[in-house]
Structure 1
Amino acid sequence: MPGQEDQAPLAGIRIVAIAQGVASAYAARLLATMGARVLLVEPAGGSPLRREPPFLPGPSGEETEVSALFAYLAAGVDSAVIDLASSSGREALDQHLAEADIFFDDTPPGERAAVALDEAGIAARFPRLLHVSVLPFGAQGDKAGWKGADLIVQHAGGEGNLLPNGLAVEMFPGRAPLKIGGHFGEMQGGIAAALGALSALWARPEAGGQAVDISSQDAMLAVGAFAIQRLGDGSVEHRVERSFRYGGVIPCADGHLELLTLEQRQWDGLVRLLGSPDWATDPALASSIERGRRGPEINRHIREWASVRRVDDIVAEGQKLGVPLARYKSPAEILSGEQEAHRGLFQSIDMGGAGLLDVLVSPFHFGGAALSLRSGPPALAGMLEVTP
């Protein structure tokens, strides 16, 4: 009987990844959870991602040298240390690329030709290979050589200037623009790279090998599509005005929830959830346009009602009525959540010196079933000059 790995969507697909940054590594990681076999090519001393804080604590609470970021991004992949500055190292990489279907690469454009990773050279040597370039500003154009850490990507994509908004900007109107936690911008680039690779893989029987150029900035622009659309209409969004007309983040007696009603049936459910008070049954509020105009007034009523009620009670009753709302959870609550366990979102993985930890596997299912990781992050091996 074939194992679970053999039945995964991308079983049999081989990927090589050069990933000095998060975007390329995340693209490879997403496809690894779908069953692809991924080889991470690292320089001497290992990927820079191995040295990114924070570092995971050990079983006894002591700090280890295991980067939480690297451990997550490299879970389920293999590793080889290859010196691309040497001819033998480039020969070793070529041997891996000859067997690969997809190649993710975030080598700076100006350095690619020197290590034989330029687009034309890759296409000539490996005509069936899907070559996916993953850079902050893409591999073409005036900004191709620009560097861009996650903070830069988020603000270059426009989203950074629109944060905080909603309840946060009401509470702290003088706060400067914020950065979304973690590596949100770079991960958007990784998602775009994974989707680009899958699209090229789907088309390969007719199109053959292709070069795919991914810009994390472009991916961030897609996140703020509504703001771009409104810019085209002549309206410049600002974080002070950027909020749901009503709903959004709602403070409750023991935490916060997110509420968003876009459809009439959802508004009707919300009215029933609130106990059908006189203000909510005003015939004028049957119009979504009027509700938009009176958003601040509606939110005052909703917040007053919610302030003396528990989040879980509101969510349980609201979901029965078809109201789209959910609790804001702490990391510990997510790890122990019934819904998360039901969906199989986390898997216990050996993280080397950090021991067994629950790790998010994938943000999606296939065929209604959760995916799985083959292993934890790879140990750093010695220099590989030729393939075994």
Structure 2
Amino acid sequence: MMDGAVAPLLAGVTVVEISRGVAAAYAGRLLSTLGAETVLLEPPDGNPLRREPPFLPPAREASALFAFLAAGKKSVTCDFESPAGRAGLSTLLAAADVFIHDLRADECARLEVDERTVRARYPKLIDVSVLPFGAVGPKAGWQAEEINLIHASGEGFLLPNGLAAELFPDRPPLKVYGHFAEYQGGVVAALGALSALIGRQQGDAESVDVSVQDAALAVGAFALQRFGDGSLEHRRTRSFKYGGVLQCADGYVELLTLEERQWQGLIELMGRPGWMLDPVLADSLERSRRGAEINRAIRAWALEQQTADVVARAQALGVPMAKYASPAEVLSDAHERARELFQPVEIPGGGSLPLLSAPFHVDGAALRLKAGPPRLGEHQHLLTASRTRNQPLVAAEAS
């Protein structure tokens, strides 16, 4: 453990995970990084995320997505279609604190892990379901991919916007790169599990039902509020009155000036040009009305700036500005190094590579990954160990 790291918050907590999608897998990853022992139950041919691109060199057999989502977890293979596999699942659940999964209702019933059965058989087990549209309701049986979810949450309708919409006005609605909505679902599922763990101290466990659509809807809360007022945002009008994404001489930055002091800092940053000192612009409402005019001047100025220099000067003046960095720049940046956000781990088929541990600190210190992603079935012994550990409990109940 590196200096400044904290003891695992969830030490002693066991999580069993069955995941096919990113949301459930990310929930398990977050709990694992917080210190829980997360056991990933995989079918004999492996979790489908193992086969998701992009793949890592040199062999291009290891999925980068799976490597990130499975880091620190343990792998046990289980054929749920066989009696032995279902018995193995039952054995692991009897020894677990949290069960995270993205099984459909019919699958839960077949495996006897539906809410009613879980509450009866495992009264201390927290059951967390993470599905595209939740486990209950008219859309509970619907399947969806990321592109469906980002648009079902309303966010896709508003993309691209700002500078991107101006540069490419004919582009259709797009999705955020990667798995934006599913990661939101994973965060909500992890928070639900943590809340239920706290609540369990006062009584029995709870079942948590997470809809990825609902989780992603929360990201667009402001757009929803405006819709309630009768205003429908559109990607071509959704932007800051001025600022936002700016093109510089060697890249892009993002600028926000939401407060008066930030506007005053921007005046200093731009060298106090005469047009910014116009008394009329002292009124924030007037600045909003003249947003397009102001932005034209800011963008013309930005084209002559170097990103590293202008960001450093902006931050010194209290102006919220940051550079759009490449992946290589993120890994080498002093900020990320100081916060110890990345940690080298061994990835089967990929070698030792830096991996994001967690995008947050706990008590001011970085979290540490226990290991890289597991090999398929690497921890099969846990199934035998769980059976042995549970035998006295079964005997005691029988007596």
Please point out which of 74, 81, 85 is paired with 2:77.
81
Deviation at 1:330, TM superposition (A): 0.5
Please point out which of 279, 284, 287 is paired with 2:275.
279
Aligned with 2:272: secondary structure?
coil
Aligned with 2:148: secondary structure?
helix
Aligned with 2:363: secondary structure?
coil
How many aligned residue pairs are there? 383
CA distance in 1, matches of 2:256, 2:378: 52
The aligned residue for residue 124 of structure 1 is 120
Please point out which of 201, 204, 210 is paired with 2:200.
204
- Partner deviation per Cα, 1:106-128 (whole Å, 9 max, x = no partner): 01122210111111101111111
The one-letter code of the counterpart of 2:364 is G
Q: Given the superposition, is the C-alpha separation of residues 145 and 381 from structure 1 closer, same or farther in structure 2, using an over 3 Å criterion?
A: same
- 1:157 paired with 2:153, answer yes
The aligned residue for residue 267 of structure 1 is 263
The TM-score normalised by the length of structure 1 is 0.95
The aligned residue for residue 147 of structure 1 is 143
- 1:316 paired with 2:312, answer yes
Q: Is the 8 A contact 1:44 1:383 kept in 2?
A: no
CA distance in 2, matches of 1:318, 1:282: 21
CA distance in 2, matches of 1:364, 1:36: 17
- 1:214 paired with 2:241, answer no
The aligned residue for residue 23 of structure 1 is 23
- RMSD of equivalent CA atoms: 1.7
Please point out which of 229, 233, 240 is paired with 1:237.
233
CA distance in 2, matches of 1:384, 1:121: 26
The one-letter code of the counterpart of 2:36 is A
The one-letter code of the counterpart of 2:384 is T
CA distance in 2, matches of 1:249, 1:65: 37
Q: Given the superposition, is the C-alpha separation of residues 313 and 382 from structure 1 closer, same or farther in structure 2, using an over 3 Å criterion?
A: closer
The aligned residue for residue 393 of structure 2 is none
CA distance in 1, matches of 2:279, 2:30: 49
Deviation at 1:207, TM superposition (A): 4.0
CA distance in 2, matches of 1:283, 1:5: 51
Aligned with 1:353: secondary structure?
coil
The TM-score normalised by the length of structure 2 is 0.93
Deviation at 1:281, TM superposition (A): 1.5
- 1:53 paired with 2:69, answer no
- Partner deviation per Cα, 1:83-116 (whole Å, 9 max, x = no partner): 1222222221122112211110101122210111
Aligned with 1:300: secondary structure?
helix
Aligned with 2:202: secondary structure?
helix
The one-letter code of the counterpart of 2:47 is S
Q: Is the 8 A contact 2:341 2:356 kept in 1?
A: yes
The aligned residue for residue 182 of structure 1 is 178
Aligned with 1:299: secondary structure?
helix
Please point out which of 366, 382, 387 is paired with 2:384.
387
Deviation at 1:208, TM superposition (A): 2.0
CA distance in 2, matches of 1:54, 1:219: 26
The aligned residue for residue 243 of structure 2 is 247
Deviation at 1:5, TM superposition (A): 8.8
Q: Is the 8 A contact 2:4 2:365 kept in 1?
A: no
Deviation at 1:341, TM superposition (A): 0.7
CA distance in 2, matches of 1:354, 1:250: 36
Q: Given the superposition, is the C-alpha separation of residues 14 and 285 from structure 1 closer, same or farther in structure 2, using an over 3 Å criterion?
A: same
The percent of aligned pairs where both chains have the same amino acid is 56
Deviation at 1:4, TM superposition (A): 9.2
Q: Is the 8 A contact 1:27 1:193 kept in 2?
A: yes
Deviation at 1:234, TM superposition (A): 0.4
Please point out which of 361, 364, 376 is paired with 1:365.
361
Aligned with 2:223: secondary structure?
helix
Which ranges of structure 2 fall in alignment gaps of 5 or more residues? 386-399
Which ranges of structure 1 fall in alignment gaps of 5 or more residues? none
Q: Given the superposition, is the C-alpha separation of residues 5 and 342 from structure 1 closer, same or farther in structure 2, using an over 3 Å criterion?
A: closer
